[in-house]
Every structure is written in structure tokens, then in C-alpha cells.
Structure 1
Amino acid sequence: MTAPLAHQRFRFVALPEDQGKRLDQVLAARVPDLSRRKARVLVDLGGVFVDGARVKVAGRAVRAGQTIIAHLGGALERATKEVGASARARDEAQLPPFRVVFQDDDIAVIDKPAGLVTAPTPESDRGNLADLLRRALGGELFVVHRLDLETSGLVVFARTAEANRILSERIREHAVERTYLAVLAGTVDWEERTIDEPIAGRRAVSHASVLERLAPGATLTRFRLETGRTHQIRIHARHVGHPVLGDRKYGKPSPIDPPRLSLHATRLGFVHPRSGEPVAFDSPLPEDLATWLDALRARGPSC
């Protein structure tokens, strides 16, 4: 697998000689290896901020003294190298489809495919699940929590400000059930384990249990999150010496690498923000990972 372009952030202040020039012209001159054409694409993606505000007009005149921040990364790499409505439509047509598992007036539970960003990022405000869902359902939509680009599975959005407040509070209180399936590198020698290891100075706790040891040297594991830090399972898996297979950031290439990151949000449970009743949703492993696992099983059990 080819590694995605790492996120890079370039910050600079417009000089007197930049006064009155087009934004894409200034970007191409000040950001290393960024052509004028790529600068226009980056602006169109929403990866450029001027004095703290996202700017999407490449021809906007720059004023001396303005602070310009450009976010380069995977979004630019994945985008059609054109701008405008037709280019955005082509980009969206290439996105993997998502499935609405449940919706009512308060929430929408979605089965997110790998390869689809959950919400806008500094790199881009287009081609993300929140934007697509907002247009599909209409009305307000609030991002309660996120899944990584390469992670598939269940995610909930709020459709009212009150539902967002309640669900966000339950996330902070760790009162939401979030269970993942992950295939770890190597043969794990424990059956259950609680991993209590801070991430970025904040408490992070994961509860892991082995479901199946696969050949050669892979272990299907269930993770239940007690906290929800960024990349928590991936970091905790690396911490115990068994990174998630297919993880290009925290793991290493393997001859049995899956078609993508082998991490799937399989169960999501919480108290409904309006009714007060507990609800829970399940999602089996998607076909790409299930087929890969079957091929591993065909080799026989791991020792």
C-alpha cells in the first residue's frame, strides 16, 4: 500500500510585495513544491485559511500583513486536480457509499465505509460524511464523534442542538458503548487485557479480549473503549506490542497485510436523547475485511 501524503501545515504572513496579488499566486510562491494549479485545488478543497477564516476563492486579493495557513495532505492527494462544481461532483462520485442504519428526528446512525472522512478537517471541508448526510437528510446536523478515514463502522450524528448537547455530554462522561473489531499483528498470548495508557497526557483506557487466533500470526480482537482519545485503539495496540494490521502510522508492513486498516466499529449503544430509552446498533465486518479473514482462516489456526 502506498502511504498517504502526511499532513503539512504552512503558516506565513503576507509581505508588502504580496499586496493585491491573487491568493493562489501567493500560495504558489510561498509554499514549497506547490504549483499554481495545485494552489487553486487546495483553495477549492477548503485547505486555506486567511486570518483564521477558511477562504475558497483562489482569486481573492491578498493584503500585506494577513496570516495565511495552508493545510496540505491526503485530501489534496485524493482530489481531482481541477476546481469548480464539476470537479467536486467527480470527487464525490468516487467516494464509497455509506448506509443509514437508523434515523429519526433527533439522531442518525450511519455505517461509515473506510475511505470516507467523518467530518470537515483543516485540509478540506468537502467530500466528508457529515456534508453528504446533511444534504441527503436536510436540516441541521451535528458531529458527535468521529472515526478515522480508514476505519469503518458505526457513528452517530445529532439532528438537533439539544440532541447534540446530550450525546456530547454522554461521550464526555464515557456513557456510550463503543466496541470495535481489530486484527492485531502477531499471536497475542493473553485472553483479556485492560490497557490503561495515557494519550497526549490524557487518561485513555481500552478493554481488549481475544476472539480468534489466526494463521499466520494474526489475532482477531474485540476492543471496548472506556475513553475515546484520537487513535486510541491503534496507539494502545502498538503499546502492547501488537499493532493493528494495515496501520501505516503506528504499525509496520506485513506479508499478510489486509486491504486496508483492519479496524471496524462494530457496536454502538447509548441512551436515546429524547426518549431516554437505551438503543444499540450492530455492524458486522464489511466484505473486504471478512474476505481477507476467511483467507487467513484457510491457512489453519495460529500456534
Structure 2
Amino acid sequence: MREALPVPAGASCPVRIQQPYAHTYAFRVKPADAGKNLLSFLCERFPFRDETGWRLRIADGRVQLNQFPADPIQLLCTGDIIQHTNLHVTEPSVPDSVRIVAESPDFLLVEKPAPMPVHPGGRYNRNCLTEILKENGYAELHLIHRLDAVTSGLMLLGKNPDFSREASALFRSGGVEKMYYARVQGLPDWEETSCDQPIGRAKGFRFACLPEGKPARSVFRVMTRGSANSIVACEPVTGRTHQLRLHLAWLGHPVSDDLVYQPGNAHRLQNRAICLHSAHLRIPALAVDGSLPVPSDWYENL
């Protein structure tokens, strides 16, 4: 696995571009969808393609049901397997700069760039962290925790089941020291504060601070103030989805380039990296210890 490529001042990060390829997606029918016909299900589940498009794909055999040619009006049963072959998959590009920070017989600690998903899913099959590591000789890694695709920084992966189980248990029980850096909007009037707002799913990929959500706690400390933005150290005491992003927004200082959780952006998508960086990860019981500095470009126009 090579180190990240050096990038001259003012240059953009090298990118990883996949050539178009054929790929077959497969998924099982859930009980809630049993009884629907195949065409209706596809139009409902994947509305980015209209009814005519799905009819054509069923007719030419690119959509199969339980590995057999399908009929648009065929009724679905729980557990049926629908396969859809896309002959020309084009994945979004990602940074070509995964870097190994530390390695032992039990684990791999890497710096994940952003935007880059951790594992295959959605529009990404090959341009994701686990597949990139697999291409470079790390084929049997175990996911222990995750980072959002738009979040960069330290990620720990296990090389064997025993280490991975123990590390996962320590993440759940609070035996892991974690710290992030965030570049946020505004100049906080506090030096250190905390947020205990519960977090739950709002709609789709969005989460929110909700009274009925799961308990969540974050601690924040101002590191640097600029003219319009600040850099804050963030400690997620719990590990809810989008926790730091939501708690910072709740405090009135959202991550500076987080389009999803800035006021008035309820329907925006976030496809680019945001200024949230997993900077410190330490597990004393397992001799895991890694730290990264604040990204240098965050100080520009702070």
C-alpha cells in the first residue's frame, strides 16, 4: 500500500477514476413488499428510472427474479431475489490518497480521505475504502467502526475476528478515546461546552435532534477563532449517526461546509467532503494509538 501522493501547494488532490464496468445488483424482497408486482416495486424502490425504462430492462433480461427471466406483472414473495444488471456503471471519483498510519498483526489504522464511503453501497462498488485496501493486499479486513463518506480521518480495521470483536466491544462500552477537529461557522462565545440532545432519524439519510431520539453527548473545545469561522476539538462521548454535525448545528455553529445541517437546507445533499476530521483514536487495552493534525488548508480564510 503506497503512501498518499504529495500534493503541491495550490494543487488538487489526485483522484481515483474507475472506467465504466458491468455490475449485477441483487437484493431480497422484504415482507412489506410481498404481493406487489415486479414492475411496481422497481418503480417505487428506484424512482430515478421511469416505468418504460424498467419495462425495457425486464424485457431484455437485465432484470431477473430468482435467477430466471422475469415478467413485469409477476407478484413478489418475501425472500425473492431480484437481480438487476447494469452494463455501464460509472462511479463517482474519489480521492486517491488512502494512507496507512499504523499496522500490526491484529489491525490496520488508516487515514481515510473524503469524500469516500467506507464500504460498497449505493453508487459505489469499487471506489470505497475496503475495496481500495483489498486491491492493495488487505483482503480480509473487518470493519470495527465507520466514518461518514464526507468525513475524513482515522479509521481502525481488524485483521482477525478476535481483535475485531474485542475492539468493537470497547467502542460500545466507552473504552475508546476519540477526538475530531471541525471547522465551524461563527465565533463561539464559549471556550468549552457540551451538548446532550437526543438524536433520531428524521427522514431518509437525514437525522435530527429529537426528544424521542437516542441519548447522545458531545463535548466541544475551541482551538482557534478566525474572522468568520473557528476550529473546534470535538469529543463524541456517544456514537450516534451524524452526532457531531447535529450537535454543532444545535449550538449554532454548524460545520462550515456541511450543506445538510445548515439552517434552511432541509433538502440539500452533501456529496463533497466537509471540514470534519477524525484526528485522534486511542484504545489503551489494545495498544492502538493514532493522531493527525488539523488539515493545514482549514486555516485559509478562517
With the shorter chain as reference, the TM-score category is 0.5 to 0.7
More strand by share: 2
Provide Cα deviations, 1:123-167, integer angstroms capped at 9, x if missing partner.
Answer: 655432122223423342111111111111001011111011000
Per the alignment, do residues 260 and 165 of structure 1 end up closer, same or farther by CA in structure 2, a change over 3 Å counting?
Answer: closer
**Pair 1:130-2:130 in alignment:** yes
**Pair 1:266-2:275 in alignment:** no
Superposition pairs of residues 134-173 of structure 1, within 5 angstroms: 134-173=134-173
Equivalent residue for 1:244? Answer: 255
In structure 2, C-alpha distance between the alignment counterparts of 1:248 and 1:238, rounded to whole Å: 11
Per the alignment, do residues 67 and 32 of structure 1 end up closer, same or farther by CA in structure 2, a change over 3 Å counting?
Answer: farther
Per the alignment, do residues 245 and 203 of structure 1 end up closer, same or farther by CA in structure 2, a change over 3 Å counting?
Answer: same
Equivalent residue for 1:76? Answer: none
Higher relative contact order (CA 8 A, sep 6+): 2
Equivalent residue for 2:227? Answer: 215
In structure 1, C-alpha distance between the alignment counterparts of 2:260 and 2:194, rounded to whole Å: 23
| Cα contact 1:267–1:283 (8 A) shared by 2 | yes
**Pair 1:283-2:292 in alignment:** yes
Per the alignment, do residues 39 and 271 of structure 1 end up closer, same or farther by CA in structure 2, a change over 3 Å counting?
Answer: farther
Per the alignment, do residues 96 and 36 of structure 1 end up closer, same or farther by CA in structure 2, a change over 3 Å counting?
Answer: farther
Equivalent residue for 1:231? Answer: 242
Provide Cα deviations, 1:101-144, integer angstroms capped at 9, x if missing partner.
Answer: 12222111110111100123466554321222234233421111
- Structure 1 residue 194 displacement after superposition: 2.1
Equivalent residue for 2:197? Answer: 197
Provide Cα deviations, 1:213-261, integer angstroms capped at 9, x if missing partner.
Answer: 1112x1110011211111110111112111111111111489xxxx741
In structure 1, C-alpha distance between the alignment counterparts of 2:36 and 2:236, rounded to whole Å: 48
Superposition pairs of residues 15-26 of structure 1, within 5 angstroms: 15=36, 18=38
Tell me the SS of whatever aligns to 1:210. strand
The TM-score, its normalising length taken from structure 1, stands at: 0.67
Extract unaligned runs of 5+ from structure 1: 1-9, 43-47, 70-81, 297-303
RMSD over equivalenced CA pairs, Å:
3.7
In structure 1, C-alpha distance between the alignment counterparts of 2:162 and 2:138, rounded to whole Å: 17
**Pair 1:32-2:47 in alignment:** yes
In structure 1, C-alpha distance between the alignment counterparts of 2:188 and 2:54, rounded to whole Å: 47
The TM-score, its normalising length taken from structure 2, stands at: 0.67
Tell me the SS of whatever aligns to 2:91. helix
How many residues align? The count is 241
In structure 2, C-alpha distance between the alignment counterparts of 1:182 and 1:34, rounded to whole Å: 38
- Structure 1 residue 34 displacement after superposition: 1.0
In structure 2, C-alpha distance between the alignment counterparts of 1:30 and 1:231, rounded to whole Å: 25
Amino acid at match of 1:266: A
In structure 2, C-alpha distance between the alignment counterparts of 1:293 and 1:39, rounded to whole Å: 49
- Structure 1 residue 262 displacement after superposition: 1.2
More helix by share: 1
